[in-house]
Amino acid sequence: MLLEADVHAYLFLSFSLLAVGVYGLLSRRSVIRMLFAVEMIINAANLNLAIFSAQRNVDGEIFAFFTIGLAALEAAVGLAIVIVFYKRFGEVIPSKIRNLRW
């Protein structure tokens, strides 16, 4: 096998990706970067599904398909929102738009 590794190593990869994603989600101010971060988090979860699926049965892999499909969809909707956002406000920095507060 090409990538012979312990399951803990794979989980470490997955958690690292999750941590980077969360860091990006919380620190970036641009909506596009935040979408990147969301995709990283989804990929981390997907990786988890694939790893456990490789050790046990095929169901996890099938779920990974669904996740990929939904993530792509989410990216499409999110980017649509980004464009509408830009048309409306002229920028893509959500922190400057504080309509939804007291």
Partner 1 sequence: MGNVYFWIIYAVVIGSAIIALEATSLLWAAVSFVVLLSEIALVYFGLNMPVLGGVQLAIYAGGVTILVLFAIMMIGESYKKPEGKAVKAIVLSLLLLIIGTFFSFLSAIDTLPFKTFSTELLGTVFVEKYSFFTIVLGFIVSALLYMANAIITKKREAK
Partner 2 sequence: MEKLVWITYLTIGIFFLGSITAFLIGKFTERWNSFWVAALTGLTGFILTCYIALNLGEHPVVHKFNWFTFGSFKVPLGIYVDSLAVVMALIATGIGFLDIVFSKGYMEDDESPHRYYFEKLFFIGSMVGLVFVSNLVGLYIFWEGVGLCSYLLIGYWYWKKSAAEAALKAFVMTRFGDVFMLAGIIVAWVLLGTINFQELNALALAGAFSVKLGLLISILIFIGAVGKSAQFPLFPWLLDAMEGPTTVSALIHAATMVNAGVYLVARMFPFFDYSHALIVVGFVGALSAFIAATGALAHTEIKKILAFSTMEHLALMFVALGVGSAAAGIFHLMNHAIFKALLFLAAGAVIHMTHQKDAFKLGGLYKYMPQTALLFLVGILALAGVPPFNGFFSKDWIIGATYAYGNPVIFGLTFVAAVLCIAYGFRLWFVVFTGEPSEYSKHAKEAYPIMLIPLYVLAVLTIVIPFFKEQIVHFLFGEVHEPFFLNLLVATLTVMFILFGIVFLIYYKRVISTAKFLAHPLGKGINEFLYNGWYVDAAIKWICRHVFYGSIAKAIEWVDIHVVDGAVNGTARLSLACWDRCRKIQTGDVIDYLTYFVAGVITLVLLILFV
Name which of 5 and 97 has its Cβ closer to partner 2.
97
| 45 scored as a contact of partner 1 (CB under 8 A) | no
Identify what 98 binds: partner 1, partner 2, none; CB under 5 to 8 Å per kind.
Answer: partner 2
The token duo for 23 is: 């860091």
d(CA 12, CA 4): 15
- Count of residues touching partner 1 (by CB under 8 A): 72
Contact indicator for 13, 33 with CB cutoff of 8 Å: no
| 97 scored as a contact of partner 1 (CB under 8 A) | no
SS3 93: coil
| 38 scored as a contact of partner 1 (CB under 8 A) | no
